[in-house]
């Protein structure tokens, strides 16, 4: 049985908690803005941003501008999806922004302060729900983000743990009297000490209970990642005689709500006589690699549908990073307007 199983002495667990809190007080990243507040809304925003994005990126470019633009759950709920996606531009994984918006509309004027209410909202899983409860409402629940998973797996010497096993161990380790600081400390332990490579076990406050400290690289075993497929596409930039560009709102689940140019599988695109290939781009998504040829087509007459917009208008629309790259191939000086309050 793991040392943090049912047989673990209460005194040993208390000693671990004391060491963790002492270490966090001295070395923890307590200056992070979402650690200086117990505003459940702001904490929720930070948790969602941090799901697929590094702390330094969220802090430098996105957290403050987003909260300035949408300072409350109600303001987010009342915004248009287009405004939310524009503010999210550059963070990627746009389903996060769409889920934030839908969840705000369902929960407004305030986030639920109980697990069942939070888990029912779009985009909120167990870890995000528990983070909001622990940090926003100071409830005695464990969290299990990537860094904490590694710490727990090493403490319990779990080579190939399931999420259920990790949750069980995380809940046994929890300090229920100080859930805010304890959970923040566990994240920092994983980020600063119990790192994926070369963990510093000698200074780790968990070394008195850690079963994996003699061979930390063994725990947990890395899962073999599947090879990311490549999609070869052709993106067509179309401009009319009045220098307006054709864009359309995407309605697919992937990149839904963003605007973009027309595109085809590379083998299906048949260029017209006057089309010009301008170059090519590469963009990496979470589940595939995009390699796209960029084509340009100029029309000799004006086009009058609403899908044709001036370049200045185009800069105001929420665009994917791949489409921004494509437009930069056509016009190297093209720059999307910065999200609100980032300018």
On the 0-12 / 13-18 / 19+ scale of CB atoms within 10 A, 122 is middle
CB proximity list for 319: less than 8 A, separation 6 or greater: 89, 258, 259, 260, 327, 336
Return the closest-CA partner of residue 263 out of 242, 240, 237, 282: 237
Q: Give the tokens for residue 93.
A: 């994984």
Residue 47 catalytic? yes
- Integer Cα distance of 339 and 343 in angstroms: 7
Q: Give the tokens for residue 303.
A: 């086009």
List 18, 47, 242, 267, catalytic entry: 47
Residue by residue, DSSP assigns 257-284 as: T-EE-EEEEGGG----TT-EEEEEEEEE
Q: Give the tokens for residue 197.
A: 């490579």
Contact (CB, 8 A) for 103 and 48: no
DSSP 62: I
- Integer Cα distance of 167 and 92 in angstroms: 28
Alpha-carbon Rg for the chain in angstroms: 24
- Integer Cα distance of 203 and 200 in angstroms: 6
CB proximity list for 132: less than 8 A, separation 6 or greater: 40, 43, 44, 47, 111, 118, 124
Active site residue ranges: 47
């Amino acid at each position: 049985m793991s040392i943090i199983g049912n047989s673990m002495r209460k005194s040993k667990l208390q000693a671990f908690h004391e060491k963790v809190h002492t270490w966090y007080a001295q070395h923890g990243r307590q200056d992070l803005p979402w650690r200086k507040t117990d505003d459940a809304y702001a904490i929720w925003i930070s948790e969602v941003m941090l799901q697929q994005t590094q702390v330094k990126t969220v802090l430098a470019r996105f957290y403050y501008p987003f909260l300035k633009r949408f300072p409350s759950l109600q303001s987010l709920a009342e915004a248009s999806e287009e405004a939310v996606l524009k503010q999210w531009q550059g963070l990627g994984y746009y389903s996060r922004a769409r889920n934030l918006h839908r969840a705000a509309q369902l929960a407004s004027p305030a986030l639920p302060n109980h697990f069942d209410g939070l888990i029912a909202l779009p985009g909120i899983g167990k870890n995000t729900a528990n983070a909001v409860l622990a940090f926003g409402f100071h409830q005695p629940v464990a969290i299990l983000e990537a860094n904490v998973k590694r710490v727990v797996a090493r403490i319990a010497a779990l080579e190939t743990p399931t999420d259920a096993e990790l949750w069980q161990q995380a809940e046994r380790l929890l300090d229920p009297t100080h859930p805010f600081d304890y959970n923040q400390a566990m994240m920092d332990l994983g980020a600063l000490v119990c790192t994926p490579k070369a963990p510093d076990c000698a200074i780790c406050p968990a070394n008195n209970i850690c079963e994996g400290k003699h061979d930390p690289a063994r725990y947990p075993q890395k899962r073999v990642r599947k090879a990311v497929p490549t999609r070869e596409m052709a993106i067509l930039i179309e401009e009319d005689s009045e220098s307006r560009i054709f864009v359309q709102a995407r309605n697919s689940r992937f990149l839904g709500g963003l605007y973009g140019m027309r595109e085809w599988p590379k083998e299906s695109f048949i260029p017209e006589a006057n089309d010009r290939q301008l170059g090519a781009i590469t963009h990496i998504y979470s589940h595939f690699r995009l390699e796209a040829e960029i084509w340009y087509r100029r029309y000799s007459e004006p086009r009058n549908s609403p899908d044709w917009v001036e370049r200045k208008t185009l800069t105001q629309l929420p665009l994917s990073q791949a489409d921004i790259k494509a437009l930069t191939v056509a016009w190297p000086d093209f720059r999307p307007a910065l999200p609100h309050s980032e300018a």
